[in-house]
Amino acid sequence: KVYISGDDTTAGNLEAKLLAGTGLSATTQNDGANETRTLAIDTATTPQLNEASQWTKAQNFDATTLTDAATIVWDTQSNQVTMVTLGGNRTMSAPTNPVDGGVYVLGVYQDGTGGRTLSWNGAFKFPAGTAPALTTTANAKDFFSFISDGTNLYLFGQSLDVK
């Protein structure tokens, strides 16, 4: 609940304000004398963060693009699904802000020249401890799926040379 109060003497002053949207209701206490407006959110139609929710429509987020640099920085908090186009041989730094149980997807694209390589920070874990080799053809696209323990990202899926 959100409580909003105002020191006024006009009856209905807060009554006419601060209520817009769906799933909201409001009550006013002390109308015309230091009013308090209580807003309530209908939890039957509004998802709660501390409960399991069933969605009736697909939920997704926009893919982002990482900045190409000698060392590529991946903030997983704002880039859960992201791509980077390599303009040279690069290194992936340790991902920042991974969440235990978080699933992250990285698309690695070759530029028009191709032949680019990618070295991985030790926070990236691979089957048998061996990082995958990128497709080096010009404009090639490789995709990697990771799951996190909150510190490391573990590769559990890859699609190389996707056309």
| Residue percentage of the chain with pLDDT more than 90 | 62
Q: Is the pLDDT of residue 40 over 70?
A: no
pLDDT value, residue 136: 98
Confidence of residue 157 (pLDDT cuts 50, 70, 90): very high
The three-state DSSP-derived secondary structure of the chain is CEEEECCCCCCCCCCCCCCCCCCEEEEEECCCCCCEEEEEECCCCCCCCCCCCCCCCCCCCCCEECCCCCEECCECCCCCEEEEEECCCEEECCCECCCEEEEEEEEEEECCCCCCCEEECCCEECHHHCCCCCCCCCCCEEEEEEEEECCCEEEEEEECCCC
- The model's pLDDT over 54-111, given as tens digits with 9 standing for 90+, comes to 778 887 878 999 999 999 999 999 999 999 999 999 999 999 999 999 999 999 999 9
CATH of domain 64-159: 2.60.120
Confidence class for position 160, pLDDT limits 50, 70, 90 = very high
pLDDT value, residue 59:
78
Which residues touch 95 (CB under 8 Å, ≥6 apart)? Answer: 74, 75, 76, 104, 121, 123, 124, 148, 153
12-26, 28-42, 101-115: range with highest mean pLDDT: 101-115
Q: What is the pTM of this model?
A: 0.70
Provide the percentage of residues in the chain whose pLDDT is more than 70.
72
For residue 72, the model assigns a pLDDT of 99
Residue 56 is predicted with a pLDDT of 84
Q: What does the mean pLDDT of the chain come to? A: 84
pLDDT of residue 25: 57
* Domain spans, the chain: 2-41, 64-159
Residue 109 has a pLDDT of 99
Range 141-145 average pLDDT: 99
